[in-house]
Amino acid sequence: MYYRQLGNIPHKRHTMFRKSGGSLFREQVMGTKGFSGTQSILYHHYMPTEVSRTELIGKYTPEYEDQDSLKHRHLLTDQIVKNGDALAAREYLLGNDDLLIGTANITDPMKSFYRNGDGDEMLYIHYGTGKIETMFGTLTYRPGDYVIIPIGTIYRVIPKDNEITKVLLVESFSQITTPRRYRNEYGQLLEHSPFCERDIRGPEKLETYDQKGEYEVITKTRGYLHSHILNHHPLDVEGWDGYLYPWVFNIEDFEPITGRVHQPPPVHQTFEGHNFVVCTFVPRLYDYHPEAIPAPYYHSNVNSDELLYYAKGNFMSRKGVREGSITLHPSGIPHGPHPGKTEASIGKKETLELAVMIDTFRPLKVVKQAKLIEDDKYMYTWAE
């Protein structure tokens, strides 16, 4: 990420920064990897450590199914009826020791605030509009936005009145970044990257609340949810600067890499974390070799599981999937186009699909509840 500043800050870090009445703002250094990763410095009206009481809410980690036969899976997330605010509506579907993946039908604004103390979060906005209030400032969101929220960020999601926001959710136990191969030694995105810093939106405005009262911050860490009651508003930041902050990238700004023959999945990579990558499939021209086959070749995932979330359009290599479908193609067995899809792709000039792919380099486990929305026949849909 690149340097950004919002609000009022002193000329030098770690020096006195006084309010109009003479008292000090409280400086907070917020960073990753023990002061050697990305960081920002925030200036609070009140001490960020000031808590009046705490309470254990309970465990949040999902229960995974017992070992099942190795097979391709198809989950129909449009059948999930669970809803609520951005925390209560979360329905975990898959995960491992590196990340959790799920969806959320957000119908209500969050009354309490929330922070993930275990890792970064990625919210892909399938549909819906609204805003996310954070300690770094306010972000607005719209369909197609990837919202990246760093570890430890206090925030709450407020959907637009009378609108449902459907989200594909990744909770990562590591930092989510842009692909290393697209950055130079200084961290700047290179010319051959499918997007650049100009496409990335940070917080749009800093709203500072100098207010006393009881405010709940729900903190997720170590497998549990905890309630912290502050006696001041948690969004009390007067100003901040640095490289660590929430940011947004819209799927429409991803510029696809194409070629004369079919390109491998890594050309669609958008983000990466520890032991996983996120890829973006957008409308694009097909391969232009005169004998090209635009449909992907059959392939075995070598040391990776492949998950696809279908957002919009007609995914050209699949039959039977629909908006909100999730397919999981695990390592160990091959997968590829459904019968007839290879032949049907020949001569086509473009595809109009929108999809998010998550490849994990350790096997994904399926949450027990996911069985309720599974298409059990999916494994056998390649039989001609």
Residue 147, strand partner residues: 123, 248
Question: What is the C-alpha separation between 315 and 281, in angstroms, rounded?
Answer: 10
pLDDT at 120 over 90: yes
In this structure, the answer to whether residues 256 and 305 fall within a common structural domain is yes
pLDDT at 317 over 90: no
CATH value at residue 267: 2.60.120.10
Q: Is residue 314 part of a domain?
A: yes
Question: How many angstroms from the chain centroid is the CA of residue 299?
Answer: 26
Domain that holds residue 221: 49-61+80-234+243-250
Number of H helices, E strands in the chain: 1, 29
The token pair at 301 is 């995932």
Number of domains in the chain: 2
DSSP-derived secondary structure letter, 177: B
Question: What is the C-alpha separation between 199 and 250, in angstroms, rounded?
Answer: 8
In this structure, the answer to whether residues 214 and 259 fall within a common structural domain is no
According to DSSP, the β-strands at 212-221 and 113-116 are parallel
In this structure, the answer to whether residues 89 and 228 fall within a common structural domain is yes
Q: How confident is the model at residue 301 (pLDDT cuts 50, 70, 90)?
A: confident
In this structure, the answer to whether residues 221 and 120 fall within a common structural domain is yes
> What is the per-residue pLDDT across 179-229, written as a single tens digit (0 to 9) for each?
999 999 999 999 999 999 999 999 999 999 999 999 999 999 999 999 999
In this structure, the answer to whether residues 133 and 264 fall within a common structural domain is no
Q: What is the mean pLDDT of residues 295-314?
A: 91
DSSP-derived secondary structure letter, 67: P
- Higher-pLDDT residue of 162 and 55 is 55
In this structure, the answer to whether residues 268 and 296 fall within a common structural domain is yes
In this structure, the answer to whether residues 191 and 262 fall within a common structural domain is no
Q: Is residue 12 part of a domain?
A: no
Q: Is residue 2 part of a domain?
A: no
Cα dihedral sign for 171, 172, 173, 175?
negative
Question: How many angstroms from the chain centroid is the CA of residue 324?
Answer: 16
Residue 140's H or E segment, with its range, is: strand 137-141
The full DSSP string for 27-49 is EEEEESTTTTS-EEEEEESS-TT
In this structure, the answer to whether residues 257 and 329 fall within a common structural domain is yes
DSSP-derived secondary structure letter, 184: -
Question: What is the C-alpha separation between 120 and 273, in angstroms, rounded?
Answer: 9
Q: Which residues of 63-79 are buried (b: 16+ CB within 10 A; e: fewer)?
A: ebeeeeeeebbbbbbee
Of the ranges 61-75, 264-278, 310-324, which one carries the lowest mean pLDDT score?
310-324
In this structure, the answer to whether residues 214 and 117 fall within a common structural domain is yes
pLDDT value of position 31: 92
Question: What is the C-alpha separation between 120 and 314, in angstroms, rounded?
Answer: 31
In this structure, the answer to whether residues 133 and 230 fall within a common structural domain is yes
Q: Is residue 27 part of a domain?
A: no
pLDDT value of position 68: 81
Q: Are 106 and 149 in contact, with CB atoms under 8 Å apart?
A: no
Q: How confident is the model at residue 315 (pLDDT cuts 50, 70, 90)?
A: confident
The residue type found at 234 is P
- Higher-pLDDT residue of 316 and 373 is 373
Q: Is residue 298 part of a domain?
A: yes
In this structure, the answer to whether residues 222 and 276 fall within a common structural domain is no
